[in-house]
Amino acid sequence: MAHWVRFEHGGRIAVGTLEGDTIAVHSGTSLFDNPKPTGETAKLSDVKLKAPTEPTKIIAMWNNFHALAAKLNVAEPAEPLFLLKATSSVTDPGATVKRPVGYDGPVVFEGELGIVIGKTATNVSEADAAAHIFGYTCVNDITAAAIIQKDPTFPQWARAKGYDGFGPFGPVVATGLKPETLTIKTILNGQERQNYPISDMIFPAEKLVSLLSSYMTLNPGDLIECGTSVGVGSMKEPVNQVSIVIDGIGQLDNTVEV
């Protein structure tokens, strides 16, 4: 298992693998250009972590957990329900997310598992999907909840989730693990608000990649946000500290000003 990071150091972007507080620097600036160890190391405290990939698209799932479907009293979908989230929503681990200008409704956290695509996938089978997954990451799918039903004729999911800064993910992409054995926790201002198993997903990772690749080509670095489960809520303090924790992957920390 490896934990890959993308970071800024000495005025340049680099990639590497993180172990403890030390980064083994690799060649190139992308995780998908066959990076090789350079022999250099950098201290985590001396770098600025960046979002680990620059996705060409972000696919965000809705209603992908049995427990949440039961709580909402909605039918479990026969096929994945999703939206495309603006890539301009991406922000870095540790970044401060601002309330959108002109919006005064609730801002919601959603702790999620992210699938990072490693090689181009078009119409791949479920059996072959794992070979197209680079690894997994932590996601906070931030949502301006009042926007979704603002116009009763058209649910505005993309707008509600697409504001600048509403797409933090990282800080690492973990490879060589089985996500179905892991648990997602969301910590808001020091209090645990979500704690749910990834194994409860209606469409698990390989099935998701297979199905989504039949709808559109998935490119290296693309991010699939697997959806969230029970415990979602709004951030009510003027300044909120939010952590998405997936043991085995890492901890994504951001400040959200609402």
Residues 45, 158 within the same domain:
no
Residues 26-44, mean pLDDT to the nearest whole number: 97
Residues 57, 45 within the same domain:
no
Residues 1, 128 within the same domain:
no
Instruction: Tell me if the pTM is above 0.85.
Output: yes
> What's the confidence (pLDDT) of residue 29?
96
Residues 97, 16 within the same domain:
no
The tens digit of pLDDT for each residue in 147-199 reads: 999 999 999 999 999 999 999 999 999 999 999 999 999 999 999 999 999 99
Residues 110, 193 within the same domain:
yes
Residues 19, 69 within the same domain:
no
Residues 200, 72 within the same domain:
yes
Residues 236, 212 within the same domain:
yes
* Residue 12's pLDDT band (cuts 50, 70, 90): very high
Question: The CATH number of the domain where 45 resides is what?
Answer: 2.30.30
Residues 207-221, mean pLDDT to the nearest whole number: 98
> What's the confidence (pLDDT) of residue 25?
98
* Residue 51's pLDDT band (cuts 50, 70, 90): very high
The domain in which residue 59 lies consists of: 51-257
Residues 134, 86 within the same domain:
yes
Please provide the average confidence, as pLDDT, over all residues in the chain.
97
> What's the confidence (pLDDT) of residue 14?
98
Residues 35, 56 within the same domain:
no
Please give the tally of structural domains in the chain. 2
CA atoms within 13 A on the CB side of 85: 32
Q: Tokens 């909120």, residue?
A: 240
> What's the confidence (pLDDT) of residue 131?
98
Residues 41, 76 within the same domain:
no
* Residue 2's pLDDT band (cuts 50, 70, 90): very high
Question: The CATH number of the domain where 145 resides is what?
Answer: 3.90.850.10
Residues 84, 139 within the same domain:
yes
The tens digit of pLDDT for each residue in 66-116 reads: 999 999 999 999 999 999 999 999 999 999 999 999 999 999 999 999 999
Q: What percent of the chain has pLDDT over 90?
A: 100
